[in-house]
A and B are shown apart, each in its own frame.
Chain A
Amino acid sequence: MFHLILFLFFGAICVAGAVNLLVQSHPINSALSLIVVMASLAAEYLLLGAEFVAAVQVIVYAGAIMVLFLITIMLLNAGKEERTKGSRVATVLGIPGVMIAAVLVLWTLVGRSSTTHLVSIGALWGAPKDIARLLFHDFLLPFEVTSILILIAIMGAVVLASRPEAIARPHHSSRTPEETRELAAAGLAETGKDR
């Protein structure tokens, strides 16, 4: 009973954070709302019994990825967004789309309620050992493929972010790594200056 109340409470916080994310006009506030969504999702996982997933959700999403979001917003010094009247496409396609999605979800929930049963709170298992067995034994190939995909993405990001002359002439680059690093530090300083 106590768990159910907590579950509903965090669910409400999650939805409120998601709505606030869209309503807020300042990027920092939106990013903070997203953190609230992530953290309350973690609380939901914890209540369902998936402790490991909850901890990873906090460490990876709420703790690391959102900090990068925040740093980017702070570095770009993004100001308030201007409100527009919205595009016609969004009105024409968006509203029916949302309605169709809502009807589908409701139809699934109501229509299948006899065949599916509710997951009781705390019934999910998520012990580190079980997850490790799944990850490194049963689903080893998908795991490795995903890690290679991520590696490719990282390399792509490095290539896109580096200066073109550094790629063309790796050995005769006009800047030594030390100089590039100093420039990066100076770039950081300039962003601070115009505040």
Chain B
Amino acid sequence: MSAPHGHTLSITTFIIISIIKSVAVVGVLLTAVAYSVWLERKVSAHIQNRWGPTRVGPFGLLQPLADGVKFIFKEDLTQPHVYKPLYIAAPIIAVVFAITSISVIPFGNWVDVGPWGTYLQITDLNIGLLVVLGITSMGVYGVALAGWSSNNKYSLLGGLRASAQMISYEVSLGLSLVPILIKSGSLSLRDIVDAQRHLHWNVFYVPMGTLAFFIYLISAYAETNRTPFDLPEAESELVAGYHTEYSAMKFAMFFMAEYANMVTVACLATLLFFGGWLGPVFGPPILQMILPVVWFCLKVFFFMFLYVWVRWTLPRFRYDQLMAFGWKVLLPLSVANIVVTALIVAWRA
């Protein structure tokens, strides 16, 4: 299982392995996105004492496929009053950045495939965490431009709300992670996970790690525009917010971006606070290779389920409450958390 450092691949092998990994990861991500929609519909239905999708396949499991086909065959309306170049670019921007952010997420340990070996990760950067934050911060443009280019008051308001909200919560999200970085001393996601071995998960680092986790979780819900922070698409006041004018595949792209962002955020929570792929590993070599991935997926699934659970349980905030909470509660808390963690780490050193 040891990683042969300093072992070099030829450029062709490197490119081939990278392409295989990218295709596999994006494929898994898109499937996960499709089935999170199914999960959302199913769980929400059970919370509301309904059945949810049951007709297409067993337990409605083929519903995502049917939905995909429906999105493709629907009429793609483009209103005459929109600003076309940006109207078309906006959903593409949203979905591209949402999918790109998965590229530095590690989801397992080193594996040996024949003569070669690779980490289960598209690429391991020593600033991995910052790359994820940077890419998600670029995702705001998709929403903001969609709102503006639709040339519709509800869309514009939704876009403005979304961008203001995402910038505000990005600050506390970023700051909430600093104590973890101080503790593990690295920005590489792989190193952060390795620092949590033997159940020293950051979430159990009471009270700083736990506080950081809850700040991260709340900010992440706001970052992904999910209830209780779904003001940008509050249907009772804004019709559908920034995607009011979108239909067919363009709408589906926003949908995919939202769920892909949820997956990324869930992956980050798993890696930073819940020990990533760490868990009991036993059995023959093949099982030892697969088990870490299983633990990782289970933890991510837990966070996806939590997302859905929260959405169908909590009501929506008011906009001023949202802003006040972000700037006056979460931000001071996360700054205080940084100071306390830094003092403790310096004192122990």
- Interface, chain A (partner B; CB < 8 A): 28, 32, 35, 39, 42, 51-52, 55-56, 58-59, 62-64, 67-68, 70-71, 74-75, 127-128, 178, 181-182, 185, 188-189, 191-193, 195
Contact = CB atoms under 8 A, between A and B. Distances in A.
Given A58-B137, A188-B160, 20 more contacts: A32-B86, A51-B126, A52-B130, A58-B135, A59-B133, A59-B134, A62-B134, A63-B134, A64-B137, A67-B166, A70-B141, A70-B145, A74-B144, A74-B156, A127-B126, A181-B324, A185-B319, A191-B156, A192-B154, A192-B157
24 contacts: A28-B86, A28-B145, A39-B138, A51-B126, A52-B130, A59-B133, A59-B134, A62-B137, A63-B134, A63-B138, A63-B170, A64-B167, A64-B170, A67-B140, A67-B144, A70-B141, A70-B144, A71-B164, A74-B148, A74-B159, A127-B126, A178-B320, A193-B153, A195-B153
A140 to B, nearest CB: 15
A21 B144 CA distance: 19
Q: Which 4 A-B pairs have the closest CB atoms?
A: A63-B137, A55-B130, A58-B134, A192-B153
Consensus secondary structure, chain A interface: helix
Contact of A75 (B138, B145, B160): B160
Interface of B: 86, 125-127, 130-131, 133-135, 137-138, 140-141, 144-145, 147-148, 151-154, 156-157, 159-160, 163-164, 166-167, 170, 174, 187, 319-320, 324
A107 B131 CA distance: 38
Contact of B160 (A42, A58, A59, A74): A74
Nearest to A73: B148
Contacts of A67: 137, 140-141, 144, 163, 166-167
A180 to B, nearest CB: 10
Consensus secondary structure, chain B interface: helix
Given A59-B130, A127-B126, A192-B157, A181 B320 contact: yes
B244 to A, nearest CB: 12
Contacts of B148: 28, 70, 74
Contacts of B140: 63, 67
A32 B149 CA distance: 13
A40 to B, nearest CB: 13
A128 B187 CA distance: 8
A39 B96 CA distance: 15
